[in-house]
Chains A and B, each alone.
Chain A
Amino acid sequence: SQQGEEDPQALSIQEGENATMNCSYKTSINNLQWYRQNSGRGLVHLILIRSNEREKHSGRLRVTLDTSKKSSSLLITASRAADTASYFCATAVRTGANNLFFGTGTRLTVIP
């Protein structure tokens, strides 16, 4: 199975701290994406990193990808209470319009 695993499963931090979540997957990929899900809501696309990229930034988000270790990390800097949500990594194994394989998710709680 391609489906990945995130760790930690749950993370609780104080507002202003940085949050780091990790994702591991099993087979080769074309790209890896991170999504956010507020409780009971849909998934919101955050950032995509291609297999030939090692790091990408978007605002307070920093994503790294290590294809040799089949792992990725998502760093949220200067966290805010509004960042409280579940974060999922999802992999696409080839180019084009293929389905995504989601990880198990990290539940992030940012305490004001």
Chain B
Amino acid sequence: EPEVTQTPSHQVTQMGQEVILRCVPISNHLYFYWYRQILGQKVEFLVSFYNNEISEKSEIFDDQFSVERPDGSNFTLKIRSTKLEDSAMYFCARLNEDRDRNEQFFGPGTRLTVL
């Protein structure tokens, strides 16, 4: 099955700036996830999103983060005021149509660099 696509592939921003990372589904999927991977570390769950609402979020996903699907297609992750420690790869994933299998298909990621 095709993966999702993500834009941009690389984002460089100044500390304190807002960034929006985008995930573009290939078809009309309902379940999405955001994960992040700090360089050299494990992949960490941020948030899951179902039918235009947050389904679950981790302790990492604090008030500076938000997700939405503004136009019914693109799925965005917004970081309101970036910190140096937000520098990471951010991956969007969609769920396999067979929910019980919980296979997730990941996008190529956005590398966020906060200066």
Q: Which residues of B contact A97 (CB under 8 A)?
A: 31, 48, 50, 55, 95, 99, 102
Q: Which of B13-21, B38-46, B66-74, B77-85 contacts A (4 or more CB under 8 A)?
A: B38-46
Q: Mark A1-40, 1 if CB is under 8 A from B, else 0.
A: 0010000000000000000000000000011010100001
Interface Cβ pair total, 8 Å cutoff: 69
Q: Which residues of B contact A33 (CB under 8 A)?
A: 102-103
Interface residue? A41 (CB, 8 A): yes
Are B108 and A42 closer than 8 Å at their CB atoms? yes
Q: Which residues of A contact B53 (CB under 8 A)?
A: none
Known: A41-B108, A102-B43. A48 touches B95 (CB 8 A): no
- List residues of A whose CB falls within 8 A of some B CB: 3, 30-31, 33, 35, 40-45, 48, 88, 90, 92, 95-105
- List residues of B whose CB falls within 8 A of some A CB: 3, 31, 33, 35, 41-45, 48, 50, 55-56, 58, 89, 91, 93, 95, 99-109, 111
